[in-house]
Amino acid sequence: MHKDNNNTGAPSTPIARLRHRKRSSEAVGDASKENGGRLLVNDQNKYKSMWIRAQSTIWMIGSFAFVVYMGHLYITAMVVVIQIYMAKELFNLLRKANEERQLPGFRLLNWHFFFTAMLFVYGRILNQRLYNTVTSGKFLYQLVISLIKYHMAICYSLYIAGFMWFILTLKKKMYKYQFGQYAWTHMILIVVFTQSSFTVANIFEGIFWFLLPATLIVINDIFAYICGFFFGKTPLIKLSPKKTWEGFIGASITTMISAFVLANIMGRFQWQTCPRKDLSTGWLQCDPGPLFKPEYFTLPGWIPQWFPWKEISILPVQWHALCLGLFASIIAPFGGFFASGFKRAFKVKDFGDSIPGHGGITDRMDCQMVMAVFAYIYHQSFVVPQSVSVDMLMEQVNF
């Protein structure tokens, strides 16, 4: 009897002890979830994830640097490959295997629309550069002239062919799924493909206008993760529970500083600042223009004598870089928030598993797409000189 009193409340059988341990572990887990102020750095499981993510990041940065060094055409090819992988991930997001088996060839229709859109967009962006590349008086020159002249008609014909293909393949009891896939395909083309295509336009305006915005997004993403990992306590937004105010603020400060410094470094290389007028692969040389010519400023007298520099040189483009850095740190992350909400709506963790520790290609390109559009619009609105010639005015009057 005395023995029973001492064991009151304790499990007496192996099964009971197992249940007791399970309940205890669940209680500890719930308590840890309630502790919202706990630093991620104290979570040992995060170190393994951080190491995998760091390895993938180094590999991506190295590959990216090599492609950038190779020049405009190689960067464009990289963007095209990324777009294809993104389309593949997003097409698979709403794919249903049972319905697909009843609709042979339906997936091919999605890719038909995708490559038609690619032909139209890149044809508009690169047609003048293709014209500048070919040699006049040859068969290839005549072919290019014809393709440029009838480019829009060719793309429209391909789209109408796809539209008719879709109508002719409609199947009873599958209408809802087929129209849903049709709408989903066009949303991918508008929201994803069209935005990311601005990247190619930036490339040919000068690698600088592609590389700097893309690098700022990478820096912002890396330091948001690092600052949040070591200092993050305060949740930033419910759509992304792992995002913290500490990570957001730390990444914003780092991105602004990086924008100002990197613009000074990148702006001194003509192969980055010169626009590409054709589709050749040679090194570029050009007049850098006033934006990339250094201006010298003498430091004020209150600077200590031991300071090694008496004057500093600043490129005017560095002030534009601050605007890009501000957008990359404050606005562009909302592309990531949009993607997070999208994944929550479809109950998926990542868009894919192409990159260990990061998810899919789309998971890494969400902010890049928003940034590419802004960089192009900013460059065309505030950087490119707007000159109106007499011929242009007369053409408008005659019209």
Tens of pLDDT, residue by residue over 65-105, are: 999 999 999 999 999 999 999 999 999 888 887 788 888 88
Digit-coded pLDDT (tens) for 269-297? 999 999 999 998 888 888 888 999 999 98
* pLDDT mean over 352-379: 88
Residue 399 clears pLDDT 70, i.e. is over it:
no
Residue 352 clears pLDDT 50, i.e. is over it:
yes
Looking at this protein, which amino acid is placed at residue 220?
A: N
- pLDDT category at 193 given cuts 50, 70, 90 is confident
Digit-coded pLDDT (tens) for 231-247? 988 999 888 888 899 99
Measured CA to CA, the distance from residue 341 to residue 325 in angstroms comes to: 24
Residue 14 clears pLDDT 60, i.e. is over it:
no
pLDDT at 221: 92
Digit-coded pLDDT (tens) for 304-331? 888 888 888 999 999 999 999 999 999 9
Mean pLDDT of the chain: 84
Digit-coded pLDDT (tens) for 244-265? 999 999 999 999 999 999 999 9
Q: Residue 286's CB: how many other CB atoms inside 10 A?
A: 13
Digit-coded pLDDT (tens) for 358-368? 778 888 888 99
- pLDDT category at 206 given cuts 50, 70, 90 is very high
Whole-prediction pTM = 0.80
Among 8-12, 120-124, 233-237, the least confident range? 8-12
